[in-house]
Amino acid sequence: MGVTQDLSFVQLISHASVLVQLVMGLLLLVSLMSWWYIFLKMFAIRDEARLTAEFEEAFWHNQNLNELYKYANSSSLREQGALERIFAAGFAEFLKLKKQQGVDADAVTEGSRRAMRATYQREMDRLESHLAFLASVGSVSPYVGLFGTVWGIMNAFRGLANVGQATLAHVAPGIAEALVATAMGLFAAIPAVLAYNRYAHDINRLSTRFDSFTEEFSNVLQRQP
């Protein structure tokens, strides 16, 4: 019972060296932050996919661009997606250039496409926010935990220098304390890596849909009188 109590998770953390405890605290903080961003991005990407599908359906079932533009400008009363903002930026530039004298159709279409591309870049930057943090947590956390483990094992073996006869009972608690840091590093890294890969894939699919819409909408504008 004494051995079990000494090797409990709480006892291992409380008896670890100060540096190892700092490593564990850092990994715990990073893990909590990564979980916050994981849930934050999960809801954001899910909502963005829903809004994109809704606007695509509204766009292809209603070819009255003026009505769609007025609908897009009423976004203060409802939630607006990235694709809708891309459309609004392109059509606003289209209307502005059409009012100018001496601007040919190709210049109008190209100006609308540039406006949509600029909005597209801003929306992609917003969607990709915090992904770099998840990637960093997934790649660095195991090494931070390993550093704590190496330091803890070093202290465990240094403690054996003052023991006349070294046994497993002397070295086991120190090594167990050190291995907790590795476990916490993996606990922080694995969810971050899985979430990063999943969200990067989902954002890449949304990016493809935005690109396709930009080209298709440019063709629609080119056919406008």
Mean pLDDT, range 201-214, rounded to an integer: 94
Q: Is 16 left (phi over 0), alpha (psi -120 to 50) or beta?
A: beta
pLDDT of 191: 95
- Of 64-68, 80-84, 186-190, give the lowest mean pLDDT range: 64-68
- Of 89-93, 102-106, 195-199, 204-208, give the lowest mean pLDDT range: 102-106
- Which residue matches tokens 């190209």? 110
CB 47 within 8 A of CB 205: no
Number of Cβ atoms within 10 Å of the Cβ of 69: 17
Closest to 113 (Cα-Cα) out of 209, 224, 221: 221
pLDDT of 225: 67
Segment 102-149, tens digit of pLDDT: 778 888 889 999 999 999 999 999 999 999 999 999 999 999 999 888
The one-character DSSP state at 161 is G
Residue 175: both structure tokens together: 């090594």
Whole-number Å distance between alpha carbons of 46 and 17: 43
Mean pLDDT, range 15-27, rounded to an integer: 83
